[in-house]
Structure 1
Amino acid sequence: MSTLRSSRLGAIVLLIASLAGLAIALYAYFTPLTGVTGTLGALVATVACLALVVMALLLAVIKSRGASIALRVLILLGLAGTFLAGLLLHQWWIGVAMVVGLIGLIIDMLRPSSQVHPTQA
């Protein structure tokens, strides 16, 4: 596997999990008899998953170390909040998608740094 592909694997996993959570939240919001059709909670879960999609795309292209750390913290908070919202809405698959997203975030944090400091070389 090339270095470029392996360095973005975590962001890709996070993106796929966020898109899956978005699809599940949209299904719960629009489909009758899900128990949360048209509720504010399902709409918030949808918006949170959409925000996670945007942050996953940003994570794949960001180069700055400080910005990537700040973005990872925001993604972690978003994953935890959306996981909780999914459980409170009894939409267990949203919770599963957020756990997969957490795995993607962990993979992204374990990727090798592209910038080597002169003192480490």
Structure 2
Amino acid sequence: MSISPSTRLGAMMLLIASLAGLAIALYAYFTPLTGVNGTLGAMVAIFACLALTVMALILFKVSGRGVSITLRVLILIGLAGTFFAAMLLHQWWICVAMVIGLIGLLLDTVRPSHHARATHT
């Protein structure tokens, strides 16, 4: 049974937000006069957004409830930590991307489970 795109909207939002955060962090790290170019904090934001991207991709494939819950908790911690790091770096667009990622995570959390979708079709 294939999963319709509407049920994966939250995971897709999370993936896009983490990729946007990664792009912004890379820009801030490599561009002179951003105030954080070449700093350790910007590099940490890059790796955090990269980890969020990988976890968002894994979220598309998981099917077990325990694994899914664990992954969502790790993503939530990653979003909060990256948001805090972006605040300290004064990179407000990364903060915006993490809030959008949080909305995507919440949408993915409230989507119907695989068992519920199987019984309705």
- For Structure 1 versus Structure 2, the TM-score category normalised by the shorter chain is over 0.9
CA distance in 2, matches of 1:71, 1:4: 21
- Aligned Cα root-mean-square deviation (Å): 1.1
Q: Any stretches of 5+ residues in structure 2 without a counterpart?
A: 117-121
1:88 partnered with 2:88 = yes
More helix by percentage: 2
- The size of the alignment, in residue pairs, is 115
1:17 partnered with 2:17 = yes
Alignment of 1:23-38 (within 5 A): 23-38=23-38
Match of 1:76 in 2: 76
User: Which residue type is aligned with residue 70 of structure 2?
Assistant: A
User: Which residue type is aligned with residue 10 of structure 1?
Assistant: G
TM-score, normalised by the number of residues in structure 1: 0.92
Identity of aligned pairs, percent? Answer: 72
Deviations, residues 47-79 of structure 1 (Å, cap 9, x unaligned): 000000000000011111100000000000000
CA distance in 1, matches of 2:74, 2:82: 12
1:91, CA displacement in angstroms? 0.3
CA distance in 1, matches of 2:8, 2:29: 31
Give structure 1 regions of 4+ aligned residues with deviation exceeding 4 angstroms.
Answer: none
1:6, CA displacement in angstroms? 1.6
1:3, CA displacement in angstroms? 5.3
1:6 partnered with 2:31 = no
Q: Any stretches of 5+ residues in structure 1 without a counterpart?
A: 117-121
Q: Matched residue of 1:8: which SS?
A: helix
1:48 partnered with 2:21 = no
1:9, CA displacement in angstroms? 0.8
CA distance in 1, matches of 2:63, 2:38: 39
User: Which residue type is aligned with residue 21 of structure 1?
Assistant: G
1:106, CA displacement in angstroms? 0.3
The answer (yes or no) to whether the contact 1:6–1:111 under 8 Å persists in 2 is no
